[in-house]
Amino acid sequence: MRNPTAGGAGLLRRVAVPAAAVILGLGLTAPLVHAAPAAPQGGTATRFGGIVAYDALPGARNDVVVGILLGELAIQDESGAAAGHGCVRRSDVLVTCGPVSGVARVAVQARDLDDRVYVAVPLDAIVDAGTGADEVATHGGGDRITVGDGAPGDRVASCGAGADTVEADAGDTVPTASCEGRVSPAT
């Protein structure tokens, strides 16, 4: 085994210290500062029992897909995804939240800007698209979709199977074939 104080390690220490002093003297501290990893800009997924929720951060243009990955409920948001209680972050944009077999409901809160939400699992879903010109599609289950934000331009592509209710404004697009109930937003 090599002695850490002999040979190259001492040389590295002798070179690194003067180099750091030179960089600090020039005001170039960025290479020496260990910044924390950037927080995802999209939102956070959490799981409590049979409910998985995704809560987007304000100011993010979310592109959310809820699906199944290797038997686990997965949430992907191209604007970034963080893992909260009961979930694991797999990449900057992907979170898994345990076995899909134990999930009864998915809830997505997209908030502001023009967001896209696609729930591609046959579970009950609650989707609140928030403000902006949003696009929502669900796959199955009894869904409650809210795109009513006081402005036209939102689009529900599909509600899938199940008894669904969509809260939408007069200028929003909602298919009557797969979205059984349409209501106006509460004023």
What's the pLDDT score for residue 184? 87
DSSP-assigned letters across all residues of 77-91: ETT-EEE-TT-EE-S
- Is the pLDDT score of 139 beyond 80? yes
Q: What are 27's strand-pairing partners?
A: none
Output helix, strand, coil percentages for the chain, rounded to the nearest 5. 15, 35, 50
**pLDDT tens sequence across 6-65:** 444 443 333 344 433 333 343 444 444 444 455 558 999 999 999 999 999 999 999 999
- Mean pLDDT on 152-169: 95
Q: What are 92's strand-pairing partners?
A: none
- Is the pLDDT score of 166 beyond 90? yes
**Residue scoring higher pLDDT (30 or 139):** 139
What's the pLDDT score for residue 115? 97
Burial per residue of 91-126, b for 16 or more beta-carbon CB atoms within 10 angstroms, e otherwise: ebbbbbbeebeebebbbbbbbbbbbbbbbebebbbb
Cα separation, 174 vs 23, in Å, equals: 60
What's the pLDDT score for residue 38? 53
- Is the pLDDT score of 127 beyond 50? yes
- Is the pLDDT score of 159 beyond 60? yes
**Residue scoring higher pLDDT (139 or 19):** 139
**pLDDT tens sequence across 86-126:** 999 999 999 999 999 999 999 999 999 999 999 999 999 99
What's the pLDDT score for residue 140? 85
What's the pLDDT score for residue 11? 35
For residue 46, give every residue at least 6 positions away whose Cβ sits within 8 Å of its Cβ, in sequence order, or none. 52, 53, 55, 84, 85, 86, 87, 97
Query: Please, are residues 84 and 46 in contact by the beta-carbon 8 Å criterion?
Result: yes
